[in-house]
Amino acid sequence: MNDINPYKVKWILPIMVAKKDIDEVKEAVSGDVEVVKPVKKKVVKEDKGPQLIDLPGVGPGAVAKLEAAGIYELMGLAVLTPSALSDMAGMSESVARKAIQASRKMMDMGFVSGLEHEEKRKELFNITTGSKNVDNLLGGKGIQTKAITEAFGAFGSGKTQLALSLAVGVQLPLDQGGANGKAVYIDTEGTFRPERVRQFAEGIGANADKVLKNILVARAFNSDHQMLLLDRVAELIKEGEPIRLMIIDSLTAHFRAEFSGRGMLADRQQRLNRYLHNLMRIAEQNNLAVYVTNQVMSDPAQMFGDPTKAIGGNIVGHACTYRMYLRRGKKDSRVCKLIDSPDLPDNETVFMIETDGLRDIDV
Ligand code: GTP
Ligand code: MG
């Protein structure tokens, strides 16, 4: 399985809607809180600037070849080398070179001033975690688009519960802490629980069926599959799905299981690195938030303090914009600690996992 070229595999892997028989029960439960309106494919389309078809000298035939190779936007094309593109898309190197050059020219891949950068950051959305304490820890409004937020911690520390809460939160309107969008949930461990989503939705007075309908769930069966699903997400976005949140629960479990032993560590890290880069690219290009969960292991070399360490080492640490360490606290609470943030102080807070959602307690 390991030598599958993710760019050449034709799409056979399903993303399924969390609740299939939604129409029959659509109006069975009605809530007052408005969640993102279901959109028909291709209806909601943001202006994402120039597309592949706008490139001079690239016709519909070439675009079809590029898309079949998993390249949907100019950035995806601009970062390739002619030989890699020629291999991936089955075109000659000279055609590939022309296409790459044209995309680089059109993309304006240069520097921007700090002021322009600041302006661009205003496009960002935030997504509430459901807990004001955790939102505040993350700068006031929860997790951010165009960034990867990682939650690592032992089993039962609340990583998945936070993921489910975010999958509900993203659907809220902007003025209620959401991003008015849908969530994609890539489940590597089979722990996505529609019943929990239902409880969280009802906890904020939203229509649970509608909320479930806006979460697109896919089970990833191994690390190759997990990688391929990212291309599927890119396709969904291109088809017009208003996806604002992508959850990978767990980021590392498959990689860890498949590449065990010292001899495979370098290979594992390289693949993880590639995966994280792809995640970041999708997040930046589509202005969506990525939330990943990660396990911990005990570090025998650590003599003092907490010996737990996140899996994946520096590769994951550097690729994730925000890192949260979750652990059980007093009286069944959860302690959430922010680590090494680029723009926020290291700090920690406390919350509770309740049946109908995450709840704050005084810190
Ligand atoms: P792993 O995936 O095993 O690494 O752990 P995780 O960090 O993802 O754990 P998860 O987020 O699934 O948290 C599980 C914990 O959430 C349970 O031990 C419970 O304490 C709590 N929990 C889950 N469901 C409920 C519920 O319906 N009500 C309440 N009160 N707590 C719940
Ligand atoms: Mg979990």
Convert the pLDDT of each residue in 17-27 to its tens digit.
444 433 433 33
Residue nearest to atom 2 of ligand 1 (CA): 155
Q: Alpha-carbon distance 290 to 276, whole Å? A: 10
pTM here is 0.78
Strand partners, 308: 298
Instruction: Spell out where 145-288 has E strands.
Output: 147-153, 182-187, 215-219, 243-249
Residue 321's pLDDT band, with cuts at 50, 70 and 90, is very high
Q: Alpha-carbon distance 291 to 151, whole Å? A: 8
Can you tell me which atom of ligand 1 is nearest the CA of 153? 7
Q: Alpha-carbon distance 151 to 70, whole Å? A: 29
pLDDT at 309: 87
Convert the pLDDT of each residue in 33-44 to its tens digit.
777 655 554 444
- DSSP structure string for 298-332: E-TT--SS--EEETTHHHHHHH-SEEEEEEE-GGG
Strand partners, 289: 147, 245
- How far, in Å, is the centroid of ligand 1 from the Cα of 151? 14
Residue nearest to atom 24 of ligand 1 (CA): 355
Query: Tokens 């519960």 — which residue?
Result: 161
The residue to mutate among 152, 155, 252, 353, having the most atoms of ligand 1 within 8 angstroms of its beta carbon, is 353
CB-defined site of ligand 1, < 6 Å = 153, 155-161, 191, 295, 353-355
Residue 4's pLDDT band, with cuts at 50, 70 and 90, is very low
For residue 224, count other CB atoms closer than 10 A to its CB: 18
